[in-house]
Amino acid sequence: MKIFPAEFDGKAIRRVYDEDTETWWFSVVDVVQVLTDSNNARRYWSDLKRKLAQEAGSEQPYEKIVQLKLTSPDGKQRETDVATAETLLRLVQSVPSPKAEPIKLWLAKVGYERMQELADPALSLDRARQTWQQHGRSDKWIQQRMTGQETRNKLTDYWSEHDVKKGSEFAILTNIIHQEWSGVSVAEHKDMKGLSSHNLRDHMSEAELIFTALAELSTRQIAENVNATGVSQNKTAAKAGGRIAAQARNQLESQTGKSVVTGANYLPPVATKAVKGAKSPRKA
């Protein structure tokens, strides 16, 4: 996941973007703070969540809230309630505030920016390139990362057009592909690298990016060849595409004696000291 700082009315709202599921996640407490100007937004949100849970009726918006690790004011990564823009729009209705309409417009604007990027992917890539440059990535690494993202976008476009739902089903297929080519799940690979809410691909080596792209390219072409439709048929294509990249990985590892999948990452030096065995990859 990518972390994007944002502000509303001069106040910070933490948000992250999950490329695998193409979903924005916003800190609920931060939005509540903006709406209420409360001295204890966490307590306000806790009370509101309890109240919503007690209300009878159809599915409540709080049920769609998940927890991700976000950076707290003290600089530490802490589990934080987050929600999509759609869920937050429903939650806003439960908070009496003169800022309700402005915050809804702000959330809609975030969605509009994403729509612009979908219509013109160059916008998203340009923003990403600037971020990677600011974090010291080499031009060679950035080019490979962008090539891999283009391959990823073509695959998710295919899924969207063939009855695969964004979110959970995207994540299921992505994990199948990753498990097949790398031998570990996405979560296990992130654990190896000492990552929490970070985007795994932003911490891959050049080789890991290349094999991920090969697996996803193979998956799409296999799916297209059989016109795979729905998550079940695309699972079969995902396994086949991942196995093709796994065969190539095994051949390379047998020649070099080195593992393609590693715990290396691009976390700042202070962060990596807490992760046993995790070292920053040498820049190409």
Block mean pLDDT (10 aa), the chain, length 284: 64 79 83 89 88 66 77 79 86 87 80 50 64 84 90 93 91 96 95 86 94 98 97 98 98 97 85 45 45
Which pLDDT score, from 0 to 100, does residue 276 have? Answer: 46
pLDDT value of residue 18: 77
One domain, residues 143 and 86: no
Domain that holds residue 101: 2-115
168 and 222 inside one domain: yes
* Domain-located, residue 33: yes
Question: Both 18 and 107 in a single domain?
Answer: yes
- Give the pLDDT confidence score for residue 59 in this predicted structure: 57
97 and 143 fall within a common domain? no
Residues 14 and 101 in one domain: yes
Phi first, then psi, for residue 83 (nearest 5°) are -145, 160
CA 130 to chain centre: 18
Domain identity same for 167 and 234: yes
Q: Please report the pLDDT score of residue 284 as a whole number.
A: 39
| Domain annotation covers residue 123 | no
What is the Cα–Cα distance from 155 to 161, expressed in whole angstroms? Answer: 10
Domain count, the chain: 2
How confident is the model at residue 4, as a pLDDT? 54
With CA atoms as reference, report the closest residue to 8 among 81, 74, 92, 79: 92
Q: 163 in a domain, yes or no?
A: yes
Cα 271 to Cα 263: distance, rounded to the nearest angstrom: 14
- 267 and 149 in a common domain: yes
**Which pLDDT score, from 0 to 100, does residue 206 have?**
94
Is 227 inside a domain boundary? yes
In a domain, 206, yes or no: yes
Instruction: Tell me if residue 177 falls in helix, strand or coil.
Output: helix
